[in-house]
Amino acid sequence: MARVKHIALIQFKADTTPEQIDQICSNLLDLSESIPGVEDFIVGPNNSPEGQNAGHTHAFVMTLTDAAARDAYLAHPEHLAFVASAMPLIEKVTVVDFEL
């Protein structure tokens, strides 16, 4: 079975504070450590000089053990609660997954 990279590109709403962004990142880190199948998680603000970010301000990148772990993560009640709490602060999100 192939590991899966789960990438979410986020554009936070203009009035989202740095403290709120930090809290979302912290909450997602906690989530990644509590749900089985998550091997690693990184997050960071966009700093590309290319100007091709299409408004996305942050990238969240997670490695999961396989597609089944990814599917379980997406449906996990803690993940669903996280999404519900974060979405009011998010303008748009783009998600891309691929197998390694």
Q: List the domain boundaries for the chain.
A: 4-99
Query: Tell me, what's the pLDDT at 24?
Result: 96
CA 70 to centroid of chain Cα atoms: 12
Backbone angles phi, psi at 66, to 5 degrees: -170, 180
CATH topology for the 4-99 domain? Alpha-Beta Plaits (3.30.70)
pLDDT tens-place string over residues 31-88: 999 999 999 999 999 999 999 999 999 999 999 999 999 999 999 999 999 999 999 9
64 token code pair: 């999961």
Phi, psi angles (nearest 5°) of residue 87: -55, -35
- At residue 80's C-alpha, the angle toward residues 92 and 67, to 5°, is 90
Q: What is the pLDDT of residue 57?
A: 96
Report the predicted TM-score, pTM, of the whole model to 2 decimal places: 0.91
The first and second tokens of residue 87, run together, are 């979405």
The string of pLDDT tens digits covering residues 15-38 is 999 999 999 999 999 999 999 999
